Structures are given as C-alpha cells and as structure tokens.
C-alpha cells in the first residue's frame, strides 16, 4: 500500500531564504507526483505536476524534482516571501486506473518578514 511522508511537519524561515521541502513515497511505480498548496481555511491549489518520465518541473520561484528510484521528491522555493506561508502537500495517484490521490500530511511553512 502506497504511503506518502513529508518531513519536516513545520518549518520557519526568515524572508529571502531558499528552502527545500521533502516528500517520500513507498511504491516507486507512480505515474506522476503533484505538489499542492493549502492556505488556512481554504482548499488545495495545484502548484506543480511532474510526470514519471520527468526529473523536474519549474514554475517561477518553485522547482520540484522527482527521483522515482529512491522514492523521493523535493520542492525548492527560492527567495522565500511572507506570502509563501502555507501548508505544502505532495500527492501521488492511488493506482494506475484513476486519479484518486494519496497525500502526505504536509509541511507547514512560515516565512517571517
């Protein structure tokens, strides 16, 4: 059974710092991996999706990498800003047939000004 783990559970950094969030999964036979952002009291917003054939994806200050063989993904945030404060969750498909997702519990990021 696929399990997704995110470490650390919480992270506090000063504005301007570069940071890395970690995600690991137990079954490397994944089709893709997705990173989401959740603001307090809100739903989830998809940030980046990496297909299994890709090594990384970039969007602005965000860069996500994927290493299937080791069962790991990282989300790199450059030059962090207070507006980046949120919970970041990674997710992988539950099976090959559909897009029901299995989520990690997330890393709550706080960026202080």
Partner 1 sequence: DAGVIQSPRHEVTEMGQEVTLRCKPISGHNSLFWYRQTMMRGLELLIYFNNNVPIDDSGMPEDRFSAKMPNASFSTLKIQPSEPRDSAVYFCASTRDSSAYGYTFGSGTRLTVV
Listed in sequence order, the residues at least 6 apart from 10 whose beta carbon sits closer than 8 Å to its beta carbon are 107, 108, 109, 110
Residue whose entry in the numeric block shows the structure tokens 């970041």? 88
For the bound state, the minimum distance from the C-beta of residue 16 to partner 1, rounded and expressed in Å, comes to: 30
Considering beta carbons, is residue 2 or 63 the nearer one to partner 1? 2
Tell me how far apart the alpha carbons of residues 25 and 101 are, in angstroms, rounded to a whole number: 12
Considering beta carbons, is residue 69 or 97 the nearer one to partner 1? 97
For the bound state, the minimum distance from the C-beta of residue 17 to partner 1, rounded and expressed in Å, comes to: 26
Considering beta carbons, is residue 69 or 100 the nearer one to partner 1? 100
Interface positions with partner 1 (CB under 8 A): 31-32, 34, 41-46, 49, 89, 93-94, 97-106
Q: What is the largest CA-CA distance in the chain?
A: 44
């Amino acid at each position: 059974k696929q399990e997704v783990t995110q470490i650390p559970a919480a992270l506090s950094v000063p504005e301007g710092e570069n940071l890395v969030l970690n995600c690991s999964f137990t079954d490397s036979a994944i089709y893709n991996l997705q990173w989401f952002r959740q603001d307090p009291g809100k739903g989830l917003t998809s940030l980046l999706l990496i297909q299994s054939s890709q090594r990384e994806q970039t969007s602005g200050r965000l860069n996500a990498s994927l290493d299937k063989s080791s069962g790991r993904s990282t989300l790199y945030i450059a030059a962090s800003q207070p507006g980046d404060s949120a919970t970041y969750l990674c997710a992988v498909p539950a099976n090959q047939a559909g897009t029901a997702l299995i989520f990690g519990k997330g890393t709550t990021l706080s960026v202080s000004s």
